[in-house]
Structure 1
Amino acid sequence: MEMDVYDELLAAVLFVVFTMFMLWVFRKLWAVRKRKTINDTSSKSGHYWSPIEQNEQQHNYCSGCKQHVVSGYECDNCLLKVDN
């Protein structure tokens, strides 16, 4: 059985879409796992850490060193910000 060009193109597009979807799912699962790992160590202190998004328009400063935070974490409860 011979596949014509359109069948091959459709198969290639479906493969790429499926691969991109699976990578997206694994990235989301990894982010949840990483977030749980961070929060497991500080759960006794009452902090629940979320990564700071770089695309936010607000200016974020570290509560410890007072420097601009490019990447770090923010407590969902008290809004404390720390850098990596």
Structure 2
Amino acid sequence: MPPSTSMARPPELATDAQWDRAIELTLRRLVYGAGAGLALGLIFTRSSAGRGRAMSFGLGMGVGSAYTDASREFGGVVPPLPSVLQPTPK
């Protein structure tokens, strides 16, 4: 007999799905951030130190954005933006 669609998922499976999404998001943004930093480093700097710094900055941006999104999914550990910085609704 197939499982009923009206049955709720156990909390363990919901947490596993959250972790899977968080890990996937983190890895994807790490790669995108490193690639963007490396591309900008290759375009705008001539030294290997400058390229390394640009790549590190891209990695930091990727990790920071992934952490923010993942913490919101896990219960809002990161506080929302102050009302001054939030866009105004149109």
Structure possessing the higher radius of gyration over alpha carbons: 1
TM-score, length-normalised on structure 2? 0.43
Flag the structure with more relative contact order, 1 or 2, with Cα contacts below 8 A and sequence separation at least 6. Answer: 2
- TM-score, normalising length from structure 1? 0.45
**Which has the larger share of helix?**
2
